[in-house]
Amino acid sequence: MTSTGTDSRLKLAVLGSGRGTNLQSIMDACAGGAIPVQVVCVLSDVKDAYILERARHGGIPAEFVDAGPFRTKLEGAGEKRYIERLRHYGAEAVALAGFMRIVKRGLLDAFRGRILNIHPALLPAFPGLESWKQALDYGAKVAGCTVHLVDEGTDTGPIVVQRAVPVLEDDTPETLHARIQEQEHIAYPEALRALASRRVRIEGRRVRMGQKA
């Protein structure tokens, strides 16, 4: 996958801290031409995160970028380093894919309305960590995933795509999580297709796509 001057695809950076299964679904959708998106770089705050290896396997520039001394947020000098690398690669939008830090105003301002995150629950239900386990413990019969634009809150931004899955009688946290992840791998490319169409507009909290491209 190479960038050219006339390439009209959305230049996307992916940030992650873990295995990068959502990156894989995005890479697959890009490679198959299903979405007009080019992943220009993958950045991780974890030096040996598998997401970096996955990116390199796919021929995508991948870097560990030091996020600084805070464990759960991206702020200060660390934030500046991320913004610098994103600009270096010409990223127009950012997809968080298991990035275990809260993104703060500096990065939000640099990519206003163009940072997506995926959450393994039908928000506003079950924000926060291990939401598939929260859903199971609550006794929900429908679970799912949400791709949303990132704002200053945690799991609060305008929703682009949601996909539901049933919770089954004998589900364990693992079986439910796996069922949700299958839908994540459909939902994230769907949301990126919408963002890449450049027709997304926000009215109040409602994300509208307008006419299809």
Helix, coil or strand: residue 20: coil
Q: Which of 57, 88, 119, 148 is catalytic?
A: 119
Stretch that binds its own copies, among 38-46, 91-99, 101-109, 119-127 (CB under 8 A): 119-127
Give alpha helix (H) positions in 45-172: 50-57, 76-88, 105-110, 131-138
Is residue 124 a contact residue for its own copies (CB under 8 A)?
yes
Give the β-pairing of 102-103 and 73-74: parallel
CB of 110 to its own copies, least distance (A): 24
Is residue 137 a contact residue for its own copies (CB under 8 A)?
yes
How many Cβ atoms sit within 10 Å of the Cβ of residue 33? 8
176 vs 18, 37, 67, 78, 163, CA distance in Å?
19, 30, 32, 35, 14
Stretch that binds its own copies, among 10-18, 26-34, 42-50, 124-132 (CB under 8 A): 124-132
Residues 138-167 touching its own copies, rule: CB under 8 A, are: 138-142, 144, 146, 158-164
Is residue 206 a contact residue for its own copies (CB under 8 A)?
yes
Stretch that binds its own copies, among 4-12, 28-36, 58-66, 132-140 (CB under 8 A): 132-140
Q: Which is nearer to its own copies, 49 or 167 (CB)?
A: 167
64 backbone dihedrals φ, ψ, rounded to 5° = -80, 130
Q: What angle do CA 154, 157, 163 make, to 5 degrees?
A: 100
Give yes or no: 177 in active site: no
CB of 113 to its own copies, least distance (A): 14
Q: Which is nearer to its own copies, 64 or 138 (CB)?
A: 138
- Candidates 106, 125, 130, 197: give the one binding its own copies (CB under 8 A): 125
State the Cα torsion 26-98-54-12 to the nearest 10°. Answer: 40
Helix, coil or strand: residue 56: helix
Contact residues for its own copies, defined by CB under 8 A: 122-126, 136-142, 144, 146, 158-164, 169, 204-209
Q: Which residues are catalytic?
A: 119
